[in-house]
C-alpha cells in the first residue's frame, strides 16, 4: 500500500502541469469542439450535456482561480478529491464483496 500512496502523491503533485498544456485534455471536449472535430454532435452527448456536470468544473475551486498559483491549488484539490473518491468506492466494493464471499462459505 505504501507504493500506492507514493504514486498517488506523485500524481497529485504533478496535476498542475495540465495548466501548462494548450488546448483541451483528451476526452474533455465541449459540444462545440466535438462538432468541429467530427462535424456533428452525437445525440446522446447533446441530450445529457446539461444533466451530467463535473463536481469541480475545469478542475478549479469556484472563485479561487484568479492566478496560476490558485489554479494549481484547484488542480491539486481536484486530484485529492478524485483519488479519495476512487479509494472510497474500492473500499466499499471490497467490503461488499467480502460480505458476499462470507455468506457463500
pLDDT in tens, 6-45: 998 898 888 888 778 777 777 778 888 899 999 999 988 8
User: In the block, which residue shows the cell 475551486?
Assistant: 61
Full-prediction pTM beyond 0.85? no
CA dihedral 55, 22, 76, 85 (to 10 degrees): 40
CA distance 37 to 17: 25
Considering the chain, what percentage of its residues have pLDDT values greater than 70? 94
Q: What is the pLDDT of residue 93?
A: 93
* DSSP codes, 51-101: T---SSGGG--TT--SSHHHHHHHHHHHHHHHHHHHHHHHHHHHHHHHHHH
Amino acid at each position: 500500500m505504501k507504493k500506492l500512496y507514493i504514486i498517488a502523491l506523485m500524481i497529485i503533485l504533478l496535476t498542475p502541469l495540465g495548466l501548462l498544456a494548450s488546448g483541451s485534455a483528451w476526452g474533455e471536449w465541449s459540444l462545440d469542439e466535438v462538432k468541429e472535430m467530427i462535424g456533428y454532435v452525437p445525440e446522446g452527448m447533446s441530450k445529457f450535456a446539461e444533466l451530467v456536470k463535473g463536481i469541480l468544473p475545469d478542475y478549479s475551486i469556484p472563485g479561487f482561480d484568479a492566478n496560476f498559483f490558485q489554479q494549481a491549488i484547484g488542480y491539486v484539490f481536484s486530484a485529492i478529491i478524485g483519488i479519495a473518491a476512487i479509494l472510497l468506492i474500492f473500499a466499499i466494493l471490497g467490503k461488499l464483496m467480502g460480505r458476499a464471499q462470507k455468506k457463500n462459505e
